[in-house]
Structure formats: structure tokens, C-alpha cells
Structure 1
Amino acid sequence: MGTVLPARPAQTLYVTIRRDELRQLKDERDQLQRELAQLRLMLQNQGQAPAVALQRP
């Protein structure tokens, strides 16, 4: 077994971000959320398509 080292206290990392960078990240997040909602809707509709086709006379 290896040498046991004492645990170090947690460190805080500070990051500086410009307002334009933050705005861009928020825009990208919003776009990804819209795409995810579209994909979920497509999957949901795809799962329902066979059931709808079976109900036709």
C-alpha cells in the first residue's frame, strides 16, 4: 500500500469572466435547451407514431 497523506482543506477557485463572454454562454445555453426540447418532442412523437398508425381503419 502507498503512503497515506493528510487531506488538504478545500480550495476556492476564483474565475473572472467578461460580460460579453457571460452573455455568449447564456445564449449558447438557451440554444442548446431549445434543441434539446425539439429532440425530446421528436422522440416523443416517434414513439407515438406506430400507435397512431395502428388506430387507422
Structure 2
Amino acid sequence: MGNFMPATPVQTLYVSVRRDELRRLKEERDQLQRQVAQLSMLLEQSRSDGKAVSV
């Protein structure tokens, strides 16, 4: 088959994020992580109870 060679060299992308944007993104991430933990707990409870999950 031969070696795969990318058409263009790999480039690094730099972005700027303001402190308030970063704080908001971190808060949103924390909230989503709490939601995932809560939903995982509910799913585990429903599995152990043998019930169907209704979200």
C-alpha cells in the first residue's frame, strides 16, 4: 500500500479566551459533570431495582 503522507504539515492552533469566558466554561463543565453523576446514579439505581429508565 505504501506510507500515508499528510497533504499539509500539522499546524498548531492558538486561541485566546477571556477570563470571564473561561470561568463561565468551567462553571458549565462543573454543572454538566454534576448532571452526569446524577444521571449515572439514577441509571445504576434503576438497574439494581430492575426497573426501566424514563428520563
TM-score (norm 2): 0.75
2:39 corresponds in structure 1 to 39
Q: Which has the higher contact order (CA 8 A, sep 6+)?
A: 2
State the Cα RMSD in Å.
Answer: 1.3
Counterpart-to-counterpart distance in 2, 1:47 and 1:7: 49
TM-score by length of 1: 0.72
Structure 2, unaligned runs of 5 or more? 1-5, 51-55
4+ runs deviating over 4 angstroms = none
Tell which structure's C-alpha radius of gyration is larger.
Answer: 1
Shift of 1:49: 1.2
What percentage of aligned pairs have identical amino acids?
60
Higher-helix-fraction structure: 1
Unaligned runs of 5+ in 1: 1-5, 51-57
Displacement of 1:28 after TM fit?
0.3
